[in-house]
Amino acid sequence: MAKTFKIQIKGQVQGVGFRPFIFSLAKQYQLKGTVSNNENGVIIFCNTSKVGVDNFLKALLLNKPEIAIITSYVIDESRYTEFNDFIIVASKTKTQINLPLTPDFAVCESCKTEILDPKNRRFNYPFTTCVQCGPRYAITTKFPFERVHTSLIKFDMCEVCNDEYTNPSDRRFHSQTNSCRACGIQLKLVINFGETITENQADCIDKVVQFISDGKIVAIKNTNGYILCCDAINPEAIKTLRARKIRPNKPFAVMYPFIRMVKADFELTPYEEDALKSRVAPIVILQNTKNTRISTQEIAPNLNQTGVMLPSSSLLHLLMQKIGTPIVATSGNIHGSPIIFEKEETQNQLTDVADYFLHHNLDIQFPQDDSVVKFVDSQELIFRRSRGLAPNYIDAKINGEEPVLAMGAHLKSTFTLVPNSQTYVSQYFGNLDNYDVLKRYKNTIENYVDVFQTKPKTILIDKHLQYQSSILGKELVSKWNANLQEIQHHKAHFASVLGEHDKFNSGEKILGVIWDGTGLGDDNQIWGGEFFEYQRNEIQRVAHFEYYNWLAHDKMAKEPRLSLFSLLDNEDRDYIKYKFSKTEWGIYLKMIKTNRLKTSSVGRLFDAVASVLDIVDINTFEAEAAMLLENCAAGYIKNNPIDFLHNDNYTEIPSTKIIEAILKAYKNGFSKEHLAYSFIYTLAKTIIKMAKAHHIKIVACSGGVFQNSLIINILTQMSKKEKINFKFNRKLSANDENISFGQSMYYQHIKN
């Protein structure tokens, strides 16, 4: 006898074509009932037998849409209801939502084929999407994911689009972002002072192709925000873009039209190729080869690598097919500001940067930069977690039910909201000293709190109370009458890796190696070269790099020569006098005598090594010295690295000894490449020695230093021989982007 069963499915199941998929599967199994989105995911009711519902669920799990992620499912028998057919019913939610948010998906193969097919009705339509692809998070105003809750609501579907939307056998059945040339989004091409060049849709793209080929700079509104584009083979165009953006050296990303062209320019591993072609469509950092035809020196000065991506939207796909050559594609902003997404703002801020603007009239709700990743063999390192990756599903064990907001750090800000049983880690925002970044960070927090209709009861901030995130956190504490807790920066980093690998309950001792630029320590000194031990919900600091003078506040991070100045003793210091003016020398000598602020920063140690090897003395962008040093070390091809540390001191690692040894070897004619490599090798050896001294087999590494692919590579090689199991951040970046998640994990799992 037929019964009625209810199946609740949780996970990333909205905005991924799940309901249409269930609909056709139900038809195939001749089931009658309903499917709808609800606050927890997707809910199905159907009339069948116990065996029938089990078979149906089995088929569902086996054939689910590629971009869906199912985290749990429950079958219950429910009160018998007679259904006459199987239908999709509209969502009705009044309760708080409790499901992962869906990130944006890059354009799928079927849509790419359609827009290049002259016989297809979407030929050349730049906003073609389907249930499998298109913007999601970027255009969401509310949840659950329905057209009325997106920016598409202002476009009424034409009759043909509506037929697709309502036809169960069409691949755009229930596609919430459905539109076409007749009813959809419109392009508009304008010159930089605002005068319209054309609104003819075909002409818009053709003219942009023409402008870029002519060496001009065009600001293009993609579905996640504006990007600035120019010809990647034209050094003059790139130099102009650098000058206008006031960005002398920081690398630009390059967009290629086809994967085969990327393959001709770079030697791709299968992992890199998969990432480039994935629905995330991130920027993948690739090693240059002698065949790389783009203007590499202008794109990423003095670096032997390039950030490469494929088009993420139909608009960019169309454009790139017509251009047929790689273009520079960098976030549309001016130095330090967030990516721009509104037309007025573009014209205010980018008038002096871009020659032309390609606008469109789809509103962006959550603008995001492109994500950036790099591979060390199969290990993916996330450098920036943004479009396509955020705010996707983070699998984290949560203790307790109270809503928590973690404010994160300062330079690479993110926040983490835990309003229910899910953990939502926001995208990367940037440096909160920038007014516009701070505004966007604030607004996004407000949007999230609105979306989840939940006011946090506890707010977590960094111990550094001058961070803008800490200041705002305290304001929110008064506003919402919430509790406040400060969490030490490096302990939060450690907790982020423990959380990502679900290691809080493992019982084993875990060594935390947390190395970065700066973070305020428990002793009010500036930490950055820390070793911790984790066991049974407690974290202890067991060792650190020796303290040295922290000079001239923020200037220290910008001028690698200052870290070197601080790390050398009086005698050796004279050797680097040539790096300073006479006045500067006098000031710094005076400063070092009275200075009381100390640091254990490994990030600054990298700077000092870059300076001692005459690679760079003053950074033009954050982490430039570390990147150049890694680049130099990668040029070492022999296999005879030096370990600069012989004495085994397991409470304070002697940074001054490392620097002295490098200076001596450099004077004795060792090559920069050899010494740069040996420095990184010495750091890796230090971790192994520390693990052995503490009899620990699991080592969790986090902090900005672990974005260095060479150290990851050396550690991975050593791990096999030494039988040490290394854990790195996986879905989150190793840098301060993971602090907010780490704070929430620390709060929930650490007792001391």
Which positions touch Zn ion (CB under 5 A)? Answer: 108, 111, 130, 132-133, 158, 161, 180, 182-183
Nearer to Zn ion by C-beta: 132 or 709? 132
- The residues with which 190 forms a beta bridge, in sequence order, are 196, 357
Q: Least distance in Å: CB of 372 to Zn ion? A: 24
Q: Least distance in Å: CB of 128 to Zn ion? A: 7
Q: Least distance in Å: CB of 121 to Zn ion? A: 9
Q: Least distance in Å: CB of 167 to Zn ion? A: 14
Nearer to Zn ion by C-beta: 56 or 125? 125
Is the N-terminal amide bond of 326 cis, ω within 30° of 0? no
Nearer to Zn ion by C-beta: 111 or 602? 111
Nearer to Zn ion by C-beta: 182 or 246? 182
Nearer to Zn ion by C-beta: 154 or 667? 154
**194: exposed, middle or buried (C-beta count within 10 Å: 0-12, 13-18, 19+)?**
exposed
Q: Least distance in Å: CB of 255 to Zn ion? A: 19
Nearer to Zn ion by C-beta: 16 or 732? 16
Pairing of strands 372-376, 379-384: antiparallel
Taking CA atoms, 372 is separated from 232, 284, 288, 673, 676, in Å, by: 19, 6, 17, 26, 25
Nearer to Zn ion by C-beta: 130 or 185? 130
Residue for token digits 């701070």?
A: 438
Q: Least distance in Å: CB of 103 to Zn ion? A: 15
The Cα–Cα gap between 118 and 124 comes to: 8
Q: Least distance in Å: CB of 185 to Zn ion? A: 11
Nearer to Zn ion by C-beta: 180 or 543? 180
The Cα–Cα gap between 618 and 607 comes to: 9
Nearer to Zn ion by C-beta: 17 or 257? 17
Q: Least distance in Å: CB of 341 to Zn ion? A: 22
Apex 493 CA angle, 492 and 499, nearest 5: 80
Nearer to Zn ion by C-beta: 65 or 654? 65
Q: What are the strands of the beta sheet with 41-48, ordered from one edge?
A: 69-78, 3-12, 41-48, 32-38, 86-88
CB contact burial 638-651 (16+ within 10 A = b; e otherwise): eeebbebbeeeeee
Q: Least distance in Å: CB of 152 to Zn ion? A: 11
Nearer to Zn ion by C-beta: 108 or 543? 108
**Residues 6+ away with beta carbon under 8 Å from 340:** 225, 226, 332, 333, 346, 349, 350, 367
Nearer to Zn ion by C-beta: 178 or 599? 178
Taking CA atoms, 269 is separated from 274, 277, 294, in Å, by: 9, 13, 20
Nearer to Zn ion by C-beta: 107 or 514? 107
Q: Which helix (H) or strand (E) holds 587?
A: helix 582-594
Nearer to Zn ion by C-beta: 130 or 683? 130
**Residues 6+ away with beta carbon under 8 Å from 654:** 546, 645, 647
Under a CB-based contact definition with an 8 Å cutoff, are residues 329 and 339 in contact?
no
Q: Least distance in Å: CB of 175 to Zn ion? A: 8
The Cα–Cα gap between 397 and 414 comes to: 20
Q: Least distance in Å: CB of 109 to Zn ion? A: 8
Q: Least distance in Å: CB of 180 to Zn ion? A: 3
The Cα–Cα gap between 10 and 38 comes to: 10
Q: Is the dihedral of CA 162, 163, 167, 171 positive or negative?
A: negative
Apex 405 CA angle, 402 and 407, nearest 5: 160
Instruction: Give the CA count within 13 Å in the CB-facing half-sphere of 482.
Output: 23
Under a CB-based contact definition with an 8 Å cutoff, are residues 287 and 267 in contact?
yes
For helices 655-667 and 560-567, the axis angle rounded to 10 degrees is 100
Q: Least distance in Å: CB of 131 to Zn ion? A: 8
Q: Cβ atoms within 10 A of the Cβ of 465, count? A: 12
What is the separation, in whole angstroms, between the first and last Cα of the chain? 58
Q: Least distance in Å: CB of 386 to Zn ion? A: 21
Q: Least distance in Å: CB of 225 to Zn ion? A: 21
Q: Least distance in Å: CB of 272 to Zn ion? A: 23
The Cα–Cα gap between 43 and 34 comes to: 8
The Cα–Cα gap between 95 and 43 comes to: 15
Nearer to Zn ion by C-beta: 179 or 708? 179
Q: Which tokens go with 131?
A: 């249930």
Nearer to Zn ion by C-beta: 230 or 276? 276
Under a CB-based contact definition with an 8 Å cutoff, are residues 233 and 292 in contact?
no
CB contact burial 418-454 (16+ within 10 A = b; e otherwise): bbbebbbbbbbbbbbebebbbebbbebbeebbebbeb
Pairing of strands 698-702, 510-520: parallel
The Cα–Cα gap between 384 and 389 comes to: 9
